[in-house]
Chain A
């Protein structure tokens, strides 16, 4: 069992959530409540990473931030290291890849709040911020938690982008899914098997958690 790789995976998952969740709540709520020009386009853009092959994302990240691009060179001059093949590079890829997994459940959550509830809260003299923290956020909470769990699990399972922009560096970019691939190539089937089972358990656990959460959400509203 490659504990370092598990550590990289977990850190990547947590960091992805911490970055994406505030953004997801803001955008998901805006998409659920507001009507604005170009809303369809935004919704489409949010969904794109869901159907885009990870190789496309990997390609653009390498082309944009690789050591041979001007942007990549500028980044390297400031940070002392190229963005690809670093944990930060993986994090960027992971954040982009997870946008739909975070924004969509949150959007559904806010959409499920009847507009009368919001209107009533406004009539009672609650400020927009109070309305959000006291009424909307608690009601949408199961969806937000679902979004976080989905993004976390999806990050753990991410393989294509990591293989392309990560480079299999221990303690930095070798995630658990890459470590499985690495062990297979080294004919260490036992090592690969243990890690594969770990990921399987995490995946099943995640689905159980999300299902339980959504059930509870439905019960409460019903």
Chain B
């Protein structure tokens, strides 16, 4: 092919791509749901089940609750927000960006996780972690950033309660979200981490290591609230109802959440 023809084809391709632009615009797209990173395996299943049951689709985007809150305040086009705590949705409600105050849909649990081959022995009281820390064997330990991720905040509270916070602080690696903390903990760069039970109990984690679930009395409760946002449409309202129904509750429980009565 001559150069000139090549250029002509490149130009045509470019124009064709651009003409494609208006397609898939906001109007016909599935409504966007923002969900805390700890919900990744659970919400993926629930959205699929919703699609099967109701023949309706929602698109779920995951991130740290604090990051998503910031994005919603900056005008991100989400219609429903499922946080990993109550504080972030309450902030949005106070700012007048929500429709109502929402409901608590689940309570989350923390788990101490150690990847395969790690010297860390996992137990619910963190005795193994304390021993390893005293012996200088903790190279890196992963939690989520307490400022933007509720599971990080709970992890900090737990480590403080156990008197390990000051000692482990220089060893901490902070994930932007609990999912990134989990990433750090599994890729062998850390001896372990305090992660969401809903993540470490998922299929993807089955072969990656061992964990111990932390009793909920050990840290401030991870009550997770969801709120409809200003721009919520009819499909999202249906999904919001669906999340409080039996099918969704069962899936949440399967993924390690406690569901309120």
> A: which residues have CB within 8 A of B?
7, 10-11, 14-15, 17-18, 62, 66-68, 72, 76, 81-87, 167-172, 182, 184-188
Contact = CB atoms under 8 A, between A and B. Distances in A.
Interface in B193-236: 202, 204-205
B77 A81 contact: yes
A18 B18 contact: yes
Interface string B61-91: 1110000000101111100000000000000
B40 interface: yes
B145 interface: no
A67 B73 contact: yes
A171 B29 contact: yes
A127 B78 CA distance: 55
B204 A185 contact: no
Interface stretch (B112-120, B165-173, B177-185, B240-248): B177-185
A14 B32 contact: no
Contacts of A66: 73-75
B74 A62 contact: yes
B76 A167 contact: yes
A114 to B, nearest CB: 24
28 contacts: A7-B20, A10-B17, A14-B18, A15-B18, A66-B74, A66-B75, A67-B73, A68-B75, A72-B75, A76-B75, A81-B77, A82-B74, A82-B75, A84-B75, A84-B76, A87-B21, A167-B71, A168-B61, A169-B76, A169-B77, A171-B24, A184-B183, A185-B37, A185-B179, A186-B40, A186-B62, A187-B205, A188-B204
B177 A185 contact: yes
A185 B75 contact: no
Contacts, number: 85
Contacts of B24: 171-172
Tell me which of B14, B40, B180, B202 has the highest count of chain A C-beta atoms within 10 A of its own C-beta.
B14
A185 B62 CA distance: 9
Interface of B: 14, 17-18, 20-21, 24, 26, 29, 32, 37, 40, 44, 59, 61-63, 71, 73-77, 177, 179-180, 182-183, 186, 202, 204-205
Contact of B14 (A7, A14, A83, A86): A14
Contacts of A171: 24, 29
Nearest to A189: B204
B62 to A, nearest CB: 7
A167 B74 CA distance: 10
A185 B29 CA distance: 24
A107 to B, nearest CB: 22
Nearest to A182: B62
A85 B29 contact: no
A218 B71 CA distance: 48
Contact of A67 (B18, B74, B186): B74
Contact of B180 (A76, A169, A185): A185
Contacts of B61: 167-170
B242 to A, nearest CB: 20
Contacts of B75: 66-68, 72, 76, 81-85
Contacts of B177: 185
A76 B61 CA distance: 22
A14 B19 CA distance: 11
